[in-house]
Amino acid sequence: MERKSFISGGLAALGFAAIAPFANSCKKDSTTTATSTTTTTSSSSSDSCTITSSETAGPYPTLVPSSYVRSNIVDGQTGVALTIKLTFTNTNNSCAALSGALVDIWHCTALGYYSEYTDTPGGSYASVDYTASHFLRGRQTTDTNGLVTFTSIFPGWYSPRAPHIHVHVYNSAGTSLLITQIAFPTDVCNTVYTTVSPYSDRGVQDTANTVDMVFSDSLANELSTVTGSVSAGYVLTINIGVPA
């Protein structure tokens, strides 16, 4: 908000971003008037004065987290319910639970698409009201047991990959520790992809885990366990070792 005057008194950090805390010792000015903004300070081409914002100062902005930070990443996407439970251990510390790590996951829709800017006529503008622009992407911090949980949908697939979920683990300061992917048991995929719309519009995956470019040589430690059913939803679990 482009108010130039903020009430003095300092900003309490009313919330923290999921990542490194900001320098939140805001120097507060007294209620001073200043010209409107930092960007449009040049005068207009005529010789009239630039308008200075003159309305009641709103409440000062509060720190808010990235919109990735949420456990439920469904954002209105259609698909079979999937609870994703990832447990991380530190391979540099006798496989103790890895707590306080940031975990980003992302995967495709039931039809195999990722959320991204799409090129639309008039040029790919997102809508601030449309909260679902980053669907199926989320960020959580591991708890004391090294666990993060996401509520999502069963991903679809796209050629030439086997079905998968992307995972990127960072330490609490945001430094990358591990980029990996999670594979799905083939029998569960076959059930979902043949019996439930809209997955069934496309049918089973065209690439098996055993020949997938990522999983073919590492399936043992990237294959998840998936339990449940189409009607009740599925739960995916996997343990992931991270050199932290």
Among 12, 14, 20, 211, binds other proteins (CB under 8 A): 20
Query: How far is the C-alpha of 109 from the C-alpha of 224, rounded, in Å?
Result: 19
CB of 186 closer than 8 Å to CB of 225: no
- The reply to whether 133 sits near other proteins by the rule CB under 8 A is yes
Residues 24-43 interacting with other proteins (rule: CB under 8 A)? 26, 36-40, 42
> Contact letters (x/-) for other proteins, 167-206, by CB under 8 A?
-x-x---xxx--x---------------------------
Among 31, 33, 67, 200, binds other proteins (CB under 8 A): 67
Task: Report CA 135 to chain centroid distance, whole Å.
Answer: 8
User: What DSSP string describes 14-62?
Assistant: -S--SSSPP---PPPP-S----S-SS--SPPSSSSPPPPP-S---PPP-
**Which segment (89-97, 128-136, 150-158, 227-235) binds other proteins by CB under 8 A?**
128-136
Q: Which of 46/231 has CB closer to other proteins?
A: 46
Q: Please name which of 179, 182, 163 lies closest in space to residue 224, comparing C-alpha atoms.
A: 182
- The reply to whether 128 sits near other proteins by the rule CB under 8 A is yes
User: Which DSSP letter does residue 74 get?
Assistant: -
Task: Report CA 229 to chain centroid distance, whole Å.
Answer: 26
Q: Please state the closest distance from residue 105 (CB atom) to other proteins, in A.
A: 13
Q: Which helix (H) or strand (E) holds 187?
A: helix 186-195
Judging by DSSP bridges, how do beta strands 81-90 and 102-106 pair with one another? unpaired
Q: Which of 64/232 has CB closer to other proteins?
A: 64
Q: Which of 40/227 has CB closer to other proteins?
A: 40
Q: Please state the closest distance from residue 2 (CB atom) to other proteins, in A.
A: 4
- The reply to whether 49 sits near other proteins by the rule CB under 8 A is no
Query: How far is the C-alpha of 222 from the C-alpha of 172, rounded, in Å?
Result: 23
Among 25, 30, 55, 187, binds other proteins (CB under 8 A): 55
Q: Is the peptide bond before 59 cis (omega within 30 degrees of 0)?
A: no
Question: Applying CB under 8 A, which residues contact other proteins?
Answer: 1-2, 4, 6, 11, 17, 19-20, 22-23, 26, 36-40, 42, 44-46, 48, 50-55, 60-68, 102, 104, 115-117, 122-129, 131, 133-134, 137, 168, 170, 174-176, 179
